[in-house]
Amino acid sequence: MSINIKQYDAKFKKKLNPKLGLVALSTDQTIEKDFNSVCKNLPLNIFINRIHNQNPLTKENLLKMEDDLETTVSKILPEEKLDTIAYGCTSGTIAIGEEKVKEKILLAKPDCYVTTPITSAIKAFKKMNIKKISLFTPYPNSVNEVILDYFTQKNIEVISFASLNLSLDSEFANVDPNYILEISKKLEIKDADALFFSCTALPVLDILDKLEEKLQIFVLSSNQTLIWDSIRSTGYKSPIRGYGKLLEN
């Protein structure tokens, strides 16, 4: 059978959306949902790859991700340029080191903007003139010590520190946000400029507005700051409401 195939010249878009690459942990059940919630109607395209992560959460297991970073990033739209790459692990960035994370990512995708949850958090603190924080994590105490040391090195004073002392990403993701709202009134935030929730797997993004209203203080989280820095880096500057005051800036 033969058929006449009519050929047309392709017409391409005159303006392409910025391309944002997200490296999510293989065990993270929250970060992808949070990025999609905030970015679904924005003029940018998100491309995700997952990096192997081993539970339980320990510094030793976090360090193992370093060797896989370059390969994981290289598989996000191979041969294509990305505008921004976000590495989605707060404690992993601190354990490996911000500069080492950036170096590994740029080996795979040169000339892109690189951000991480802790990089973006420090950037957000500076923007909002936050110098003293109340810190909340789901981490085990061995990892909490690493987090505390990092903030101390960055001259961020940790006024109080609360933790759930969990060790599995599946546990982090299944923490009830209503429980966090309930216990938030017990947190020692009197002298803090902000409350910061560390961990991309902790499901707090949707309650940040409620927490800020309830506590009358800035409330930030790993995913919120990472999303904020990522989308602002692409040139999108309009306010985004519903996820805390940071994204309204």
* pLDDT tens column, 97-146: 999 999 999 999 999 999 999 999 999 999 999 999 999 999 999 999 99
Q: Mark whether 80 and 167 lie in a shared domain.
A: no
Q: How far is 201 from 174, CA to CA, in rounded Å?
A: 9
The CATH code of the domain that includes 41 is 3.40.50.12500
pTM for the whole structure: 0.96
Q: Mark whether 32 and 47 lie in a shared domain.
A: yes
pLDDT of residue 1: 75
Judge whether 9 lies within some domain. no
Q: Mark whether 128 and 173 lie in a shared domain.
A: yes
* pLDDT tens column, 216-226: 999 999 999 99
Q: Which domain holds residue 38?
A: 19-116+226-248
Q: Mark whether 134 and 96 lie in a shared domain.
A: no
CA-nearest of 196, 194, 210 to 242 is: 210
Count H helices, E strands: the chain?
11, 8
How many structural domains compose the chain? 2
Q: Mark whether 180 and 243 lie in a shared domain.
A: no
Indicate the pLDDT class of residue 16, thresholds 50, 70 and 90: very high
84-88, strands of its sheet edge to edge: 45-51, 19-25, 84-88, 113-115
Judge whether 2 lies within some domain. no
